[in-house]
A and B are shown apart, each in its own frame.
Chain A
Amino acid sequence: NAGVTQTPKFQVLKTGQSMTLQCAQDMNHNSMYWYRQDPGMGLRLIYYSASEGTTDKGEVPNGYNVSRLNKREFSLRLESAAPSQTSVYFCASSDGTGAGNTIYFGEGSWLTVV
């Protein structure tokens, strides 16, 4: 019962390095999301994808890019990491855009940029 799987779980980067966070879901969901969680800020939406082949900016997209590779996979890329991007990143998916549809989360990726 995998659900939403994201990798890596922990990563330390130097300022200016690039990396990609991978996410896959096995629930055949159309919608996928990337959030970041910072102390006192709750969860903030970075990007989302309502269906395969589409992506849209969320609340805090600057410094990130995404790729909806297929229906299962949605990756988040940091092209040039900055200390302000130190955070916990969560991938999530949902089986539709209806208001009652539940969003399911991965276990998180802890990223530190030094």
Chain B
Amino acid sequence: GDSVTQMEGPVTLSEEAFLTINCTYTATGYPSLFWYVQYPGEGLQLLLKATKADDKGSNKGFEATYRKETTSFHLEKGSVQVSDSAVYFCALRAKNRDDKIIFGKGTRLHILP
């Protein structure tokens, strides 16, 4: 079945460091891919998405490119801030399937000032 695998955390970085959170997926066909962010005590918010191969989603300085050949959707940011500390979830939603979105287990990011 469909699945999402993302790097385990926690990930601890210093402010202004470069961030990569790896995400790979297994799915039949070509799903849409999402990154959600969860700040402490809050629900999940959509960070960015890509709906087809080679698409790049971007928002708030974060980027992720839909790579069909490597079945990946890695999240990157060039210079992280303390305010980026949160849990990040990679997710997929398959086309022509029942109405479900599959989440990875989440990666906790902690940015040190």
Contacts and interface: CB of A to CB of B under 8 A. Distances in A.
B112 interface: no
A69 B95 CA distance: 27
Contacts of B45: 105
B32 A40 contact: no
Contacts of B99: 31, 48, 50, 94, 97
A45 B43 contact: no
Interface string A74-114: 00000000000000001010100111111111111000000
A9 to B, nearest CB: 10
Q: How large is the interface on B (under 10, 10 to 19, 20 to 34, 35 or more residues)?
A: 20 to 34
Interface SS of B by simple majority: loop
Contact of A90 (B31, B44, B95): B44
B77 interface: no
Interface in B90-113: 93-95, 98-101, 103-106
B42 A107 contact: yes
B89 A99 contact: no
B43 A106 contact: yes
Contacts of A4: 43
Interface in A42-61: 42-43, 45, 48, 50, 56, 58
Contacts of A105: 36, 43-45
Contact of A108 (B42, B49, B100, B105): B42
A41 interface: yes
B49 A42 contact: no
8 contacts: A41-B105, A50-B98, A50-B99, A58-B100, A102-B34, A103-B46, A103-B93, A108-B41
Interface of B: 31-32, 34, 36, 41-46, 49, 51, 89, 93-95, 98-101, 103-106
